[in-house]
Chains A and B, each alone.
Chain A
């Protein structure tokens, strides 16, 4: 990083102190973050070091087609420091939701960050970008979302796509996607994009991603779909505490049955945990209080691409394309099986009619041979 410009901004530790946190709080926070990141114990020091010495990371946080649930999740992440310092003071140089400035002042602030920290700042994007009708569906300050994104992406060091909207389009990109809502990685070329999907993503996961960037000065390791491996390499199903019931074959059949009371697996009432990569089973939500499955509801699969179109919430099977939303592969398959059986029966009848001569010939041949043996 450019030291001359960065020296002016205070380090995280200084910010923590200014906010009235003790060193103990600070260390607790570092340990927590290291744990979430899946770092070894010995690396806690590295996190402490980085947050004590490194200047705050300049961040621009843009909002497009979204509901702000990602921001909400972030500021409610379990450790107060996250809200107070990371967000409030990550030097969120521009974020429509939380900044004090507005109008021209705000635009000014963003411009400043973009020029002052060119090539240094992290661009966080919440929401998808509508590209239909020249982008009129989401405009801010007279510019389309795409224009704003492109301008801001230009000088960014890396881009973090917060939530399912920015990562895969979420609900507004569900069929028929009237505004052509498009995820960020499809619009920005030549910049690393970290996807942090979820509707919303877990606050601790979001904080973890930022702490990783601050600590190591580079992006966390990503999987094939561009998600940080530390949080998205396991399925909810792999860490679900109801998993023993799944393996035992004990399932909730309906939400009001005895099995539901006993806390059996929610697979048959549509739990998408087995196909969803997220950290819910471990990190949980709302300060680790619970997560959907613990509260008796199956996983939606909110962090998976296209989860609105790809499945039904309360059933495992999804619609078979081209056969209406009520159809499933099994229904279509059974009909196809019936049709096939009918066609084969018809074929068998036709064979006996049309190939009568041939079959009779074979039979005659056989009988003649038999006769010859008798003679």
Chain B
């Protein structure tokens, strides 16, 4: 490149491995399904039908889809936790749980630059930035709450295999199904709000950073400035080289 000063040298980095991408889109799909069916179960539409009850099974199917999706959601979630230990460094659990001072420093940086819109110089991490990672940590907690409350509600109505019965203790902890159901419903709203903000921020980062944020969850690639590597700033949980 002739004009080295104004044109960045970029490196192609394989950030999101295929299992992470599959996890991500599967998760997105089942969450949408769970939200849609969940709303229906909470407040079913008034069916305009002259058929006999024996000839339709609308709520039954919706519930069945909800339950199937919840199984996929749960095991997909388990897989992601596992991948946090065996995947690449951008997928590692340390991206989500602060283990160093740099993590907090970067969180503050992100807050300053992306929320307060102040100027900052530091380059952000390649995978999740520290703030995003930390918020994903809470998202995982919400996943956990949703799985526990959901399977807790499901345990007593399930017949057959042992897995849902593992959650039979849950209603007692919440003093019964009434409250459990409400907690399950409230947590769903967290998912909705999260999704809206998440999608917006992906566009935002692509827009102001030009690293291919949006497409990265498709092919796995991000395009990163050379000096990020020189300074060793690609993940927030490791100290920088400088």
Contact = CB atoms under 8 A, between A and B. Distances in A.
B242 interface: no
Interface in A345-372: 347-348, 350-351, 354-355, 358-359, 361-362, 364-366, 368-369, 372
* Main secondary structure on B side of the interface with A: helix
A144 interface: no
Contacts of B229: none
Contacts of B169: 224
B179 A310 contact: yes
B157 A318 contact: no
Contact of A247 (B57, B117, B171, B193): B57
Nearest to B45: A249
Contacts of B45: 249
B204 A348 contact: yes
B175 interface: yes
Nearest to A304: B176
Nearest to B117: A354
A235 B154 CA distance: 12
A355 B196 contact: no
Contacts of A372: 1-3
Interface stretch (A198-206, A283-291, A336-344): A336-344
A350 B189 CA distance: 27
Q: Name the interface size band of chain B.
A: 35 or more
Contact of A347 (B47, B59, B176, B204): B204
B196 A337 contact: yes
Interface stretch (A39-47, A103-111, A148-156, A238-246): A238-246
Nearest to A357: B119
Contacts of B175: 168, 305-306
A201 to B, nearest CB: 16
A318 B176 contact: no
Contact of B3 (A329, A344, A368): A368
Interface in B159-204: 168-169, 171-172, 175-182, 185-186, 189, 192-193, 196-197, 200, 204
B6 A365 contact: yes
A330 B196 CA distance: 16
Given A224-B168, A306-B176, A344-B200, A316 B208 contact: no
B178 A249 contact: no
A275 interface: yes
A304 B178 contact: yes
A367 to B, nearest CB: 10
Contacts of B43: 268, 316-317
A347 B207 CA distance: 13
A61 interface: no
A322 B192 CA distance: 20
Given A224-B172, A341-B196, A369-B7, A250 B53 contact: yes
Given A359-B207, A368-B6, A249 B157 contact: no
A307 interface: yes
Contacts of A366: 210
Nearest to A354: B117
A258 B172 CA distance: 39
A121 interface: no
A80 interface: no
Nearest to B153: A275
A236 to B, nearest CB: 11
A14 interface: no
Given A248-B60, A250-B53, A337 B178 contact: no
B178 A307 contact: yes
Contacts, number: 144
A301 interface: yes
Nearest to B209: A362
Interface in B82-101: none
A305 B200 CA distance: 42
Given A248-B57, A364-B6, A368-B3, A320 B208 contact: no
Nearest to B53: A248
Contacts of A365: 6-8, 210
B193 A340 contact: yes
Nearest to B55: A248
Nearest to B169: A224
A343 to B, nearest CB: 9
Contact of A336 (B58, B177, B179, B193): B193
A224 B152 CA distance: 12
A317 B176 CA distance: 16
A251 interface: yes
Contacts of A333: 189, 192-193
B53 A351 contact: no
Contact of A224 (B42, B171, B186, B208): B171
Nearest to B64: A247
Contact of A320 (B2, B46, B56, B186): B186
16 contacts: A224-B172, A247-B59, A248-B54, A251-B44, A274-B177, A275-B180, A277-B156, A277-B177, A305-B176, A333-B192, A336-B193, A348-B200, A351-B208, A355-B208, A365-B7, A368-B6
Q: Which 8 A-B pairs have the closest CB atoms?
A: A249-B58, A275-B177, A224-B172, A333-B189, A354-B117, A248-B53, A247-B60, A310-B178
Given A276-B177, A306-B176, A318-B182, 19 more contacts: A249-B57, A249-B60, A274-B177, A306-B175, A306-B178, A317-B43, A320-B186, A333-B192, A333-B193, A336-B193, A337-B192, A340-B193, A351-B207, A361-B6, A362-B208, A365-B6, A368-B7, A369-B1, A369-B7
Interface of B: 1-3, 6-8, 42-47, 49, 53-60, 62, 115, 117, 156-157, 168-169, 171-172, 175-182, 185-186, 189, 192-193, 196-197, 200, 204, 207-208, 210
